[in-house]
Structure 1
Amino acid sequence: MNSSDLNRKHRTKLLLGGLGILALLAILYPVFSGMHTAASPGESHQAHADHADGATPGEAGQSAFAAIAEIVALLTADPDTDWSKVDITALRTHLVDMDRLILGASASQQTDGDTVIFQISGEGEVLRAIHAMVPAHARELDKIDDWRVSAEAIPEGAILKVSTENAAEQEKVAALGFFGLMATGSHHQPHHMAMAKGDMMSH
């Protein structure tokens, strides 16, 4: 083999070696880059937010989680919050009851004269949520103009009655149905805040 062939072979080895090093660097770069940018186990949620580029989501998570997060933020921002009375667990229990009632209960309705009658039923924890929430919510609905609202607990659930002499309101009540009625009113948010502050019992 002459010197020209040896030089060519040497240059080929160098070229292949250089390509191998570049390929290795391409593989390792994301690893080392991630070690630099990834959050350490003890890094806070705020640190994650600081690292994020652009807008961050406004929703804190699943609806009950988001509701609790909102209440916690308001309590934290209020210098008059009495932390010795705060009861987030009571609020969480109430939110669980709301979830069970809306997703687990069954409701039928009929109209008798000027009264729309709802029969609500459920079993187990759903039944407990019905007994806890329906009579208490009826008292709030009874504050609405032109409505006369009452509820009673029965072994299988509850009976909710909404009476009105206003034909348009009766049509509205029938259209809302039981689940729409349970979401009617503006008392939920202050009720949740009062509950979290330990100022009142849940319904």
Structure 2
Amino acid sequence: MRAKILLTAMALAGGAVIAVAQTNHTGHGDGMDHSAHGKDRPATAGVLSEPGQGAFAALSEVVQVLESDPETDWANVDLSGLRAHLVDMDRLVSDAIVSETDLPDGISAIATGDAATIATLRRMVPAHTAQLARDDRWTVQATQTDDGVELRVTSDDPSVAARIRGLGFFGLMASQDHHRAHHLLMARGRDAHGH
């Protein structure tokens, strides 16, 4: 009995030590001091690497670029607008309900969701369609529906049509890597493509 009590006491004490160690931030090793993050990284000269889904990381990276640029016009900076766009990006990826239909030459994707998601889709899909249309290997069309948006992407080239079907709605929305430049333009207060 005495051995059971001793083992129970040791287990409880060990658990308390682990709990304290997990919540005590003073024991952080090298690289774990939150106040030191980023101090050893060189400022990026207008080049972003965060495409957007990590909203806080994207905002932080944009702030670094703006602060390192002596030409930043702080009167026009619009980080709230960029934040709203990043929220839209998250909502599109996380909350959109998409039904894809394979076509012989591509796909038709019907996207819908709750009222906030539908509003996001109506802002983002047509704007991104303009970016997708810059690729002349496919034809892109976005049509507003009663409860969302239809994205139709097709190509006469069977290998491109296969690529379209492989990308699907979300891959197409993430393609044409313009996001970093677009985010920086938005942060600088320029309406990069209206969403």
Aligned to 1:64: 55
Aligned residue among 119, 130, 134 for 1:139:
130
Structure of larger gyration radius: 1
Does 1:173 find its partner at 2:160?
Answer: no
Stretches of 4+ aligned residues off by more than 6 angstroms: none
**Once the 2 structures are TM-superposed, how far is the Cα of residue 116 of structure 1 from its aligned partner?**
1.6
Structure 2 counterpart SS, 1:85: coil
Q: Could you give the per-residue CA deviations for residues 148-191 of structure 1, whole angstroms, max 9, x where no partner exists? A: 11101112110111110110111111111101111101211111
- The AA in structure 2 aligned to 1:72 is V
**Once the 2 structures are TM-superposed, how far is the Cα of residue 49 of structure 1 from its aligned partner?**
1.8
Does 1:116 find its partner at 2:98?
Answer: no
- The AA in structure 2 aligned to 1:116 is I
In the superposition, the TM-score normalised over structure 2's length comes to 0.72
Aligned to 1:10: none
Task: Please give the root-mean-square deviation of Cα atoms over the aligned residues, in Å.
Answer: 2.8
More helix per residue: 1
Aligned to 2:91: 100
Structure 2 counterpart SS, 1:99: helix
Deviates more, 1:105-114 or 1:184-193: 105-114
In the superposition, the TM-score normalised over structure 1's length comes to 0.69
Describe the shift of the 1:47–1:91 C-alpha distance in structure 2 as closer, same or farther (beyond 3 A). Answer: closer
Query: How many angstroms apart in 1 are the aligned matches of 2:171 and 2:133?
Result: 15
Query: How many angstroms apart in 2 are the aligned matches of 1:47 and 1:109?
Result: 43
Query: How many angstroms apart in 2 are the aligned matches of 1:49 and 1:192?
Result: 26
Aligned to 2:184: 193
User: What percent identity do the matched residue pairs reach?
Assistant: 40
Structure 2 counterpart SS, 1:179: helix
Describe the shift of the 1:83–1:115 C-alpha distance in structure 2 as closer, same or farther (beyond 3 A). Answer: same
Structure 2 gap segments, 5+ residues each:
1-23, 28-32, 42-49
Describe the shift of the 1:116–1:73 C-alpha distance in structure 2 as closer, same or farther (beyond 3 A). Answer: same
Describe the shift of the 1:114–1:69 C-alpha distance in structure 2 as closer, same or farther (beyond 3 A). Answer: same
Structure 1 gap segments, 5+ residues each:
1-33, 39-45
- The AA in structure 2 aligned to 1:185 is Q
